[in-house]
Structure 1
Amino acid sequence: MHIVLVHGLWLRVSVWDEVLALLIASDYMPITAVPLPADASSASPTTLEDQLDAVLAAIDSQPEPAVVVGHSAAATLAWMAADRRPDRVAQTVLIGGFPQSGGEQYAPFFPIVNGAMPFPGWEAFEGPDSEDLTGAQCQEIASAAIPVPEAVARSTVTYTSEARFDVPTALLCPEYSPEQARKWIAADDVPELSRTKHVSYADLDSGHWPMLTRPAQLAAAIADFAE
């Protein structure tokens, strides 16, 4: 399988560096970490479709079927990729996030300032999300954070194919447990996954950014699902 890694809000593609190195060291190839465009300052700011196009280009770059790994809000990007390429995506792996429903905004979580959604600070993530991060890691994330263009964050999510519900999905559960995720899906709190035919679960025992705090565990979980 071709592993495609898609990072979440505010992050840079380098957030995958350690996971990528561990997968390569274990002789797992091919792997693509997708650098999502995120230009909020130009006359034509980045849109959600631009980010989706970057993910689809990564999927199409290799002949092997893709395992698309989406972190946090990018669970929706991974799910949209499965919707657009149900014949090319063998599985989605969703880390700490769930796909938005069609008609919802992609990431309506924090205020827009000057055409973008800036990193809101650590108060918004107090508790299980961030308790395993070191002070240096918190500073690294905040200082490197890229504001999310409004045309990404407030874009309406659209799906085109019922075949996405046939794509197997794995939930890697960091700041919540697999049991909690099962309950949310059973209660139809996550309509997209409530209709998905094959959903599996794994516990990561980490906060919201396991690629920084549990890279070896995360790399092993991704490889297990890809195999």
Structure 2
Amino acid sequence: MQTFLIPGLWLDASSWDAVTPAIEAAGYRAHPLTMPGLEANDADRNGITLDTHIDHVVHLIDEVPADEKVALVAHSGGALVAYGAVDRRPERVDRVVYVDSWPGGEGSIVNDEVPHDDADMPFPGWDAFDEGDVRDITPELGEEIAGHTHPSPSHAATDPLHLTDERRLDVPATIVITTMSAEDLNELIDRGVGWLGDTPRLSSLHIAGLPTGHWPQFTKPQELSELIVDALAE
């Protein structure tokens, strides 16, 4: 199975460094991605949109031979990129794993509250996040994670997601939830809260809890790796 790992805002492929070895050891081909505009701090992010990122993943899916399976693993804001790719290629994606994230719905955006201009959304620093988000992030680890960050293209974070193919709802999904309990997430799904988008409509959804902060690929990489491998094996 070809497994594409999509980072959240501000992160590049290196954010998956502690996770990919276990995925490879389990027999899956891991492809951690650096999305367009995240190559360097001084990358040109003008004109890069959410669709740019979705198109990038769709292109990679299209390059996989038809007889090979495809999985997507998405952290945080990468969830809308993954779900947009599933919407465009529902017949080619066999499973999606959302890491402290979930599928959006029509019109969902990643985040328009972080300060940004028309091209760049810089990493805002740890004080911008809630206590639960930064759980298990020590000052030393915070510096390490920040060293992996680059400004995100602002339109990739603020453009609305557009969906067209209802077959996306039948692609099996796993949510690894880290900043709330699995029970609390299930309750929200049962209530059909709007910000969960299409999550309550998915035909096949498994929820796994991993208590930590919003960046488990850094705070609990071994545990996250095991949950991802379990999800890919289903």
Q: TM-score, normalised by structure 1?
A: 0.92
Which residue of structure 2 lines up, in the alignment, with residue 197 of structure 1? 203
**Distance in 2, Cα, partners of 1:43 & 1:139:** 24
| Pairing 1:58–2:60 present | yes
> What SS does structure 2 have at the residue aligned with 1:164?
helix
**Distance in 2, Cα, partners of 1:51 & 1:169:** 20
Which residue of structure 2 lines up, in the alignment, with residue 140 of structure 1? 144
Extract unaligned runs of 5+ from structure 2: none
**Distance in 2, Cα, partners of 1:177 & 1:152:** 28
Residue 42 and residue 128 in structure 1: after superposition, are their counterparts in 2 closer, same or farther (change >3 A)?
closer
How far the C-alpha of 1:21 sits from its partner, in A, is 1.8
Q: Provide, for residues 19-41 of structure 1, a one-character-per-residue CA deviation record: whole Å limited to 9, x for no partner.
A: 112222x2423221121112686
Q: Provide, for residues 60-113 of structure 1, a one-character-per-residue CA deviation record: whole Å limited to 9, x for no partner.
A: 332322121110111111111111111011111111112332123332231213
RMSD of Structure 2 on Structure 1 (CA): 1.9
**Distance in 1, Cα, partners of 2:206 & 2:49:** 31
Q: Summarize the alignment of residues 1-227 of structure 1 with structure 2, pairs less than 5 Å apart.
A: 1-24=1-24, 26-38=25-37, 42=44, 44-63=46-65, 64-113=68-117, 115-189=119-193, 190-227=196-233
Residue 61 and residue 29 in structure 1: after superposition, are their counterparts in 2 closer, same or farther (change >3 A)?
farther
- Work out whether residues 32 and 58 of structure 1, in 8 Å CA contact, stay in contact via their aligned partners in 2: no
Residue 104 and residue 224 in structure 1: after superposition, are their counterparts in 2 closer, same or farther (change >3 A)?
closer
Q: Provide, for residues 122-169 of structure 1, a one-character-per-residue CA deviation record: whole Å limited to 9, x for no partner.
A: 112241211201222211222432112222122121011000111111
- Work out whether residues 89 and 167 of structure 1, in 8 Å CA contact, stay in contact via their aligned partners in 2: yes
**Distance in 1, Cα, partners of 2:216 & 2:107:** 30
Extract unaligned runs of 5+ from structure 1: none
Q: Provide, for residues 2-29 of structure 1, a one-character-per-residue CA deviation record: whole Å limited to 9, x for no partner.
A: 22110000111101011112222x2423
**Distance in 2, Cα, partners of 1:43 & 1:212:** 26
- Work out whether residues 86 and 163 of structure 1, in 8 Å CA contact, stay in contact via their aligned partners in 2: yes
Q: TM-score, normalised by structure 2?
A: 0.89
Identity %: 32
Runs of 4+ in 1 over 6 A off after TM superposition: none
Instruction: Look up the equivalent residue of 1:36 and give its one-letter code.
Output: M
